[in-house]
Amino acid sequence: MEFFRKTLDPVIALAAIAVLDIFLFLQLGAWTVGGGETMMTGLIAEFFMGDDLRRIPFWQLVFEPDAGYWKIYISLGMLFGAVIGAVMSGEFFIRYPRRLSEWIMITIGGLLMGIGIRLAFVCNVSTFFGLTPELNLGGYLAISGIIAGAWVGSLIYKRILGV
Amino acid sequence: MSVVGECVLAFVFGTAVGLLVQRSRFCNTAALRDAMLFKTYRNTKALLVAMMILTLGFTGFITIGEGNPMRFDVGLNQIIGLFLFGIGMVLAGACTVSTWVKAGEGNVGAMWALIYTFAGMFLFSLVWSFIYWPPAPAAMSGEPALEALQLGFSNAATLQEKTGIPAIVFGLVQFAVLFAIYRSIVRRERPGAGRMASIG
């Protein structure tokens, strides 16, 4: 099929995603990823810790683990869709970061993303595809933060990888 | 809608997004990083187009009282949180979307980033349980609370309510700003644009 042979223009792909996001906004709420990831974190922690998790107030007052939280399934769907796309187009193969510096950057980067999402209550997706198009004040605050952060991150990236 | 219906709809939406992002190689991190580091705008233009469509769609439906906008108080935590997130996504080479999509392509680095994103969230849950900031949803009033560094809640619906001007009007203003940014990028990309400017 042509769709799996050629790279799709990202403008067309994102325009289609925007239309789907408007439909989701009417039914449930705008596209977001961080909330679902937080709920997954709570469910994983609950699996290992059992009732001890309830002793951490965050998991009672902010996010009570609930497998029926719809945002979890957006992330799982993205993973599923990406697997289908990669397998059908022959682009699925296991690859690893080659250098130790890359592993360290990914580890620190992942930690900062997780901390940042929970501190802000939003991720990049809800900033650009939810809050800002809803003209929410939080969207503009988040955009100023993410642009400053991406600029600092780019300087670090440049220095470490010598780009 | 039932809980199962919500989850199925979310999964179908996510699958379509995963497929489209995988086939287009769109990356939100690249939309910011490549514009800053390499002055290339392939992903930035796509992001701007999506934001223009969404701005018109969301504000249009909010004008007639439809849709489900996000509702929570905002403040300094959005700036600090997304600042940390911005550094993190450039270092990890992927944002929340591309970690899932790249993981689906077999990228072990993206899976590693996901694991540490979860770890970061859990670490923050421990810290939050000592400092109780930013306020929990139940403590949010929608009004400014400066002692908690919170500015309250404001979006297209509250703008319409307070000013009497339809939300779509504000949406059109934002659309015009986004379009102006998009147009300036397209002009900058035109072959010979730099040479013309230097001749002029």
pLDDT digits (tens, 9 = 90+) for B124-163: 999 999 999 999 999 898 999 988 999 999 999 999 999 9
Query: Taking the domains of chain B in order of start, what are their residue ranges?
Result: 27-69+158-200, 72-154
Q: What pLDDT is attached to residue B199?
A: 40
Confidence band for B191, pLDDT divided at 50, 70 and 90: confident
Interface of B with A in 29-58 (CB under 8 A): 29, 32-33, 36-37, 42-43, 45-47, 49-51, 53-55, 57-58
Confidence band for A1, pLDDT divided at 50, 70 and 90: confident
Rounded to a whole number of angstroms, the distance from the CA of B8 to the nearest CA of chain A is 8
Judged by a CB distance cut-off of 8 A, whether residue B111 touches chain A is no
Residues B88-102 have a mean pLDDT of 94
Report whether pLDDT(A51) > 50: yes
Q: In this complex, do B96 and A73 lie within 8 Å of one another by their Cβ atoms?
A: no
Rounded to a whole number of angstroms, the distance from the CA of A47 to the nearest CA of chain B is 14
Confidence band for A121, pLDDT divided at 50, 70 and 90: very high
Tell me which chain B residues have a C-beta less than 8 angstroms from the C-beta of A54.
Answer: none
Report whether pLDDT(B197) > 50: no
Report whether pLDDT(B170) > 80: yes
Q: Are B14 and A77 in contact (CB under 8 A)?
A: yes
* Residue with token string 């421990």: B126
The sign of the CA dihedral B159, B163, B168, B172 is negative
What is the percent of chain A with per-residue pLDDT over 70, rounded to a whole number? 99
Cis status, amide bond into B134, omega within 30 of 0: yes
- Rounded distance, CA A22 to CA B16, Å? 14
B-interface mutation test, from A98, A119, A131, most B Cβ less than 10 A away: A119
Instruction: Please tell me which residue of chain B has the smallest CA distance to A128.
Output: B51
Q: How many contacts (CB atoms, under 8 Å) link A and B?
A: 500
Q: In this complex, do B118 and A40 lie within 8 Å of one another by their Cβ atoms?
A: yes
* pLDDT tens by residue, A138-157: 999 999 999 999 999 989 98
Report whether pLDDT(B91) > 90: yes
* Residue with token string 């219906």: B5
* pLDDT tens by residue, B174-189: 999 999 999 999 998 8
- Identify which of A156, A18, A132 has the alpha carbon closest to the alpha carbon of residue B173: A132
> In chain A, where does DSSP find H-type helix?
2-5, 10-27, 34-49, 58-61, 70-88, 100-120, 124-126, 137-161
Interface of A with B in 63-102 (CB under 8 A): 63, 68, 70-86, 89, 91-97, 102
Q: Are A25 and B59 in contact (CB under 8 A)?
A: no
Report whether pLDDT(B195) > 70: no
Q: How many CB atoms lie within 10 A of CB B166?
A: 17
Q: In this complex, do A8 and B23 lie within 8 Å of one another by their Cβ atoms?
A: yes
* pLDDT tens by residue, B34-69: 998 888 999 999 999 999 999 999 999 999 999 999
Confidence band for A159, pLDDT divided at 50, 70 and 90: confident
Rounded to a whole number of angstroms, the distance from the CA of B195 to the nearest CA of chain A is 25
Tell me which chain A residues have a C-beta less than 8 angstroms from the C-beta of B75.
Answer: 141
Judged by a CB distance cut-off of 8 A, whether residue B10 touches chain A is yes
Which of A96, A110, A150 minimises the CB distance to B90?
A150
Q: What pLDDT is attached to residue B192?
A: 61
Q: What pLDDT is attached to residue B36?
A: 87
- Rounded distance, CA A112 to CA A114, Å? 5
Residues A107-134 have a mean pLDDT of 97
Confidence band for B193, pLDDT divided at 50, 70 and 90: low
* pLDDT tens by residue, B17-40: 999 999 999 999 899 989 988 889
Rounded to a whole number of angstroms, the distance from the CA of A64 to the nearest CA of chain B is 12
Tell me which chain B residues have a C-beta less than 8 angstroms from the C-beta of A128.
Answer: 28, 47, 50-51
Judged by a CB distance cut-off of 8 A, whether residue B178 touches chain A is no
- Rounded distance, CA B106 to CA B96, Å? 16
**The amino acid at A8:** L
